[in-house]
Amino acid sequence: MWIKQILYGPISGGMNHGIPAFHFIFSGEAYVEGSHDDAHALQEIRHYNRNKYAIALLDGKLPPFKDDNYLITFTKTLKDFGYSRIVRAPGNVYRTWFLPDRPGFEGLVDCLSIRITDQPWTGFSTNEIFFYPPKGEIFEPTLPPENSSSRLFIDPSLHSKEEVYKFIKESTFNWGILSSHDLELEIVWEEKE
């Protein structure tokens, strides 16, 4: 199943922190033709909808690149249903449909959040960057010019307060601290084994 779990509750971290949303957690597995995972998932959220916030957070391991058409169709359906779409992806994953100015994909993703470590990453325009520095001295990642207006957050979990403060103080860019609060989420649907 390419969708492993659907959760409902507040978004953790970033500029949307605390806002309730449906969290679609992807397994990284390929889409299986005829599985109707996407239709089942949409049926579940429509049944579960609390008529509050219509936000969908697509997270986890995105399906393989070859399955982008299914993911694009799924995301367009969420848009047609009136859901705002937030995508969180690793910084080494680039998909053309992420970008709002690509013909045919205009407005498909409302907010793109990229997770990076110290690894080199493909620079492309994002709304948010979540930086997870490994243990040791924290070095500011090189950010391409197209990210000059991105909101930047650092995960402090592997470093002392002093190390994080020093990083923020000496950085070229303005960094916020990524909230580490585990927010409670309700299970809407889970993959059955």
Rg, Å, the chain Cα set: 17
CA of residue 62 relative to chain centroid, distance: 10
What pLDDT is stored for residue 119 in this prediction?
65
**Helices (runs of H) and strands (runs of E) counted in the chain:** 3, 9
φ, ψ at 98 (rounded to 5°) = -65, -35
Q: What domains are defined for the chain?
A: 3-190 (3.20.20)
Please name the helix (run of DSSP H) or strand (run of DSSP E) that holds residue 98, with its range, or none.
none
Q: Extract the tokens encoding 69.
A: 């058409």
Least confidently predicted of 41-55, 82-96, 154-168: 41-55
Are the beta carbons of 22 and 45 closer than 8 angstroms? yes
For the segment 15-51, what is each residue's pLDDT rounded down to a tens digit?
A: 999 899 999 999 888 877 766 666 777 777 777 765 5
Are the beta carbons of 156 and 132 closer than 8 angstroms? no
Give the predicted TM-score (pTM) of the model.
Answer: 0.87
